[in-house]
A = this chain, B = another copy of it.
Amino acid sequence: MLRQPSIGGPDGYSFTPLVVVELAPDAKEEAVAWLLNKVIDGEQSGGADLLVEQLRPSASDGEKDNRNVFLVGASWQRLLSGAEDLGLFKEFNDGSMRAFTCANRDNFKDFKGDGDDFLSMAECQYIVKHELDSLRAKSETHIPGYEKIKLYPGKSIIRRMQSKGILVQVFPLHETEELKRLSFSWYQKVKLSLQPLDDIRHYYGEGMALYFGFLEYFTFALMPMALIGVPYYLFDWEDYDKYVLFAAFNLVWCTVILEAWKRSSATMAYRWGTLSRKKAFEEPRPGFHGVLGLNPVTGREEPLYPNTKRLLRIYLVSVPFVLLCLYLSLYGMMVYFLAEGWALTLHAAEPGVWTAVLTFVPSVVYAVVIEVMNLIYRYAAEFLTGWENHRLESSYQNHLVLKVLVFNFFNCFASLFYIAFVMHDMVMLRQSLATLLITSQILNQVMEAFLPYWLQRRRNKKMMRRASKRANRGEKEMTLADQVRLEADMSTYLGTFDDYLELFLLFGYVSLFSCVYPLAAVLVVLNNITEVYSDAFKMCHVFKRPFSEPAANIGVWQLAFEAMSVIAVVTNCALIGMSPQVKSYFPESETQLIMWTAAIEHGLLALKLILTFVIPDVPKHIQTKLARLEFESLEALKKKSLIRGR
C-alpha cells in the first residue's frame, strides 16, 4: 500500500494519507487541537498513535476552502499491530487463512519485510477507522471549547463530535490508479466476463464484494429459467394451462439456488479470511441515548436504556404503525382493482385506442404508487427504528430490515396474490406481473443509472474547471489537495440495503409467479446485467469510497431470501393445484384435489427443511481446513497449560 504516488511526491506529505477527517469550518480551535492530539498520542496515554497532517489549501485559488481538513495515516508498525487487534485474517505460508499476529508475521505469505504490500489500502483504512472510532474520553467531562457537549468515560469521541456536527465526515481516500484499473476490468472492458470479485474485495472490502458476488450468482442462477422461459413464452403464450411444469421447476429452483449460494458464499468468505473471524464486542451505535449507568457486561459507564421501554415502543407503536401501513396498502390495492374494473367496462362500452390505453393506466399508476409508498415508508421505518433506540447497530439493522421487508413484500405482492388466489384470473395475473415488473425496472434504472450519470457529469464539469486552473498554473497532474476536496464533495454511499432489497423483490417476482409469465426471468436477467454496470459505475465514480467492512455472508438477507423461497413453495403448489391441467385429474371431487395439493405441499416443505439440514452450509474441504485451525489452537492451548501446570 505504500506504492501510493504521494510519498514524497509533489504533494510532499511525510506519510501516505489514508483517511480524511473533515471538521466543521467554524469548529473551535481548542476542540480541533484536542482531537488531533488524541489522534497522535501514543496508546499508553489513550491516543490512537496515528499520523496527522493538515491538508494544504487548494493551490492558492480564490475559493474559500475549509481549512479544517486533515489527512490521517499510520506507520506500518502501527498498522500491523492494528491488524492484530482486529483479528484480520491473512494468507499463511501453507495456504490457509489465519488471524494475523505480529509475533508470527514472517510466516504469512505476502509479508516481505517492512512497509510492503502486505495490507491492502482498504484494510489500512479499516484499521485507521477502527482506531479513530475507539478513541474514548477518559477524564474529560466535555469537549474542550464546547461546554455543553458532555462526555463521559468511555464515550467514543469521534461519534460524539460527529453527532454534534463538529466533525463533518470521515472518509477513506480513493486510489486513483487502482480505481482506473479496477473500473476497467469491471465494466469498461468490451469483452463480457465475470466480475473481478477478488479485486473488488481488495478495493472495497468483503461486504461489497459479497453483494456483487450475490448479484452475479443470482443472474447466473436465473439463466436456465430465462432460457426455458423464452420458448415457453413464444409457443405457449396463450395456453394458460401449461404452467404446471414451470411451477414445479420454480419450486425446486428456488430451494436449490439458495443452498448452493450458501456454499459458494462460504467458499468466498474463506478465501477472503472472514469466515472464521471472531466478532469483536459491539459498542453502542452512535444514535443510542439513555441515562448514564454501568453496563452490566463491560462494567463501563455508558448510557443505559431499559429493554422493557424499548419493547413497549416496538409493540405499542411500531407494530401498530406497520399494521396501519399494511392496511393502507391493502386499501390502495382495492382502489386499483376498482379503477381497473371501471376502465375495462369503459373499454367494453366504447372500444377504441384511447380506452384501450386507458385500461393500462390503473396498472401503471398503481406500480408508481407502490414505488412511492415504498419510498415514503422507508423513511418512516428508519425514523421509527431510530426512535426505538436500539443499543447495537446490528439490532437496529435487523429491526429496520424486518419492517421494510414486510411492508415491501405486502405492497408489491398483495395484488398479485389477490388476483391469483381470490380472483383466479391468470390472464390478469400475467398482465399485472408484466406491468409491475417493467414499471419498477424502468423506475429503478432511472434512479440508479441516469441519476448517477447526471451527478457524474456535474462533477466532471467541476473537475474541468479545476483542471483548467491547473493548466493555467502549468501543472499536469491533479494534486492530492484537489483530489481530497473533490472526493469530499461526492455523495456518501449508504450501504447495500437498497440494492439487496431490489434483488429480494425481483427474486420474489420470479420465484412466486414466473410460471404464469415466463418472460419474467428474462427481464430480471436483463435488469441484473444493467444493474452490475450501473452499480459498478456509481461505486467507482459517483460515491465517496466507503470504508470496507468485513463480512462472512450476506447476513439477514440470506434469511429473507429463504423465507421468500418457502413462500414460493407454497405459492407454486397452490398455482399447480389450481391449474386446469391438474384439476382434470380430479373431475369429480374438488376436496380430493385440495387434500392432495396440501399433502404434497407439506411433503415438499418438509423435504426443503430436511435438505437445509442435510446439505452442509460449508463445503467439506473448507470444513476440514477450519477444523485443522481449530485443532491446532486447541493443541497450542493444551501445550501452554501443560507448561504452566508443571
Contacts and interface: CB of A to CB of B under 8 A. Distances in A.
A472 interface: no
Interface in A150-194: none
Contact of A644 (B103, B570, B624, B642): B103
A644 B102 contact: yes
B84 A645 contact: yes
Given A281-B630, A630-B281, A642 B43 contact: yes
B297 A628 contact: yes
B101 A641 contact: yes
A292 B22 CA distance: 64
Nearest to A593: B591
A641 B595 contact: no
Contact of A627 (B43, B102, B297, B624): B297
A383 interface: no
A81 B641 contact: yes
A142 interface: no
Contacts of A645: 81, 84, 102
A280 B598 CA distance: 45
Contacts of A595: 594
A644 B302 CA distance: 29
A627 B296 CA distance: 9
Number of copies: 2
Contacts of A299: 628
Interface residues of A, number: 33
A101 to B, nearest CB: 7
Interface in A627-646: 627-628, 630-631, 634, 638, 641-642, 644-645
Interface string A459-474: 0000000000000000
A327 to B, nearest CB: 18
Contact of A307 (B594, B620, B641): B620
A624 B297 contact: yes
A570 to B, nearest CB: 7
Most buried by B among A85, A591, A598, A642: A598
Interface string A587-618: 00011001100100010000000000000000
A60 interface: no
B591 A641 contact: no
Nearest to A623: B297
Contacts of A280: 634
B634 A281 contact: yes
Contacts of A627: 281, 297
Nearest to A43: B642
A139 interface: no
A45 interface: no
Contacts of A584: none
B591 A296 contact: no
Interface in A266-297: 280-281, 296-297
A641 B84 contact: yes
B638 A85 contact: yes
A193 to B, nearest CB: 34
A135 to B, nearest CB: 15
A570 B602 contact: yes
A602 B574 CA distance: 13
A554 B307 CA distance: 30
A631 B594 contact: no
A391 to B, nearest CB: 12
A385 B162 CA distance: 62
A298 B620 contact: no
Interface string A219-233: 000000000000000
Contacts of A298: 628, 631
Contacts of A103: 644
A16 to B, nearest CB: 21
A43 B602 CA distance: 57
Q: What 10 A-B pairs have minimum CB-CB distances, sorted nearest first?
A: A81-B645, A297-B627, A297-B628, A296-B624, A594-B594, A590-B591, A281-B631, A84-B641, A598-B598, A297-B631
Given A81-B641, A297-B624, A594-B595, 4 more contacts: A84-B645, A85-B638, A297-B628, A307-B620
27 contacts: A43-B642, A81-B641, A81-B642, A81-B645, A84-B645, A85-B641, A101-B644, A102-B641, A102-B644, A102-B645, A103-B644, A280-B634, A281-B630, A281-B631, A281-B634, A296-B624, A297-B624, A297-B627, A297-B631, A298-B628, A298-B631, A307-B620, A570-B602, A590-B591, A594-B594, A594-B598, A598-B598
Interface of A: 43, 81, 84-85, 101-103, 280-281, 296-299, 307, 570, 590-591, 594-595, 598, 602, 620, 624, 627-628, 630-631, 634, 638, 641-642, 644-645
